[in-house]
């Protein structure tokens, strides 16, 4: 696919950098369609002091210019925030070449897909609001909280305590709710599309 084959017209540069994960607009605010908020991807570790805030927040910066403005939509009518993304672009790379019995390093250019194609291919498989409808979003967060507490109980030698048994039962309850939602179709994997914004 070439830049000219983008379904919504020629790829004119927008004039701002590609911003798939929020690095250009103050950091990720709506990870997984708002299921996770600000600081949810933040990495805080005593092992790596002095990390820049952008790295702590998990803000993956793209150095390419944005070519398209899109938003994700699903068949159930859920609509995501606008994203300015890069598309196909040229990228330099190095390879070895045998010349007169020696290998020399050669710089070349190849055309690679951008965030528009990457998100369309890998990250648009299911709508977060269709996967976690209604109370399921809160149960999803509760599941993580119970798992963290259970890990702490295990690490502190309290695996066989009444509290640990209670936490395990809460985890089983939440998982059974998800099993029911999957079985009755309340939870479904509605694929998403990147739709152009004019």
Taking only the tens place, the pLDDT of each residue in 10-54 is 445 567 888 887 766 766 666 676 666 666 656 666 665 665 665
- Domain span holding position 192: 3-20+62-196
How many domains is the chain built from? Answer: 1
Q: Does the global pTM surpass 0.75?
A: no
Question: For residue 39, is it within any domain?
Answer: no
Question: For residue 10, is it within any domain?
Answer: yes
Question: For residue 38, is it within any domain?
Answer: no
Residue closest to 143 by CA, chosen among 171, 116, 113, 120: 171
- CA–CA dist 192, 33 (Å, integer): 12
Question: For residue 27, is it within any domain?
Answer: no
Q: Which distant-in-sequence residues (6+ apart) come within 8 Å of 167 by Cβ?
A: 146, 149, 150, 153
Quickly list DSSP for 24-52.
GGTS-SSBTTTTB-TTTT----TTSTT--
- CA–CA dist 2, 11 (Å, integer): 10
Question: For residue 47, is it within any domain?
Answer: no
Place of tokens 């299921």: 35
- CA–CA dist 181, 167 (Å, integer): 21
> What tens digit of pLDDT does each residue of 138-191 get?
898 899 899 999 999 999 999 999 999 999 999 999 999 999 999 999 999 999
């Amino acid at each position: 696919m070439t830049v000219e084959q983008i379904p919504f017209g020629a790829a004119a540069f927008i004039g701002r950098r590609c911003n798939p994960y929020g690095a250009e607009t103050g950091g990720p605010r709506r990870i997984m369609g708002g299921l996770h908020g600000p600081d949810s991807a933040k990495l805080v570790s005593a092992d790596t002091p002095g990390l820049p805030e952008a790295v702590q927040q998990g803000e993956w910066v793209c150095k390419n210019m944005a070519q398209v403005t899109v938003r994700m939509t699903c068949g159930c009518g859920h609509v995501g925030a606008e994203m300015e993304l890069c598309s196909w672009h040229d990228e330099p790379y190095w390879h070895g070449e045998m010349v007169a019995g020696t290998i020399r390093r050669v710089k070349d250019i190849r055309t690679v897909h951008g965030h528009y194609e990457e998100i369309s291919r890998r990250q648009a498989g299911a709508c977060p609001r269709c996967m976690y409808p209604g109370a399921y979003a809160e149960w999803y967060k509760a599941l993580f909280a119970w798992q963290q507490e259970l890990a702490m109980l295990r690490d502190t030698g309290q695996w066989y305590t009444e509290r640990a048994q209670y936490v395990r039962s809460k985890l089983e309850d939440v998982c059974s709710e998800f099993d029911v939602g999957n079985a009755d179709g309340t939870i479904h994997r509605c694929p998403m599309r990147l739709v152009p914004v004019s």
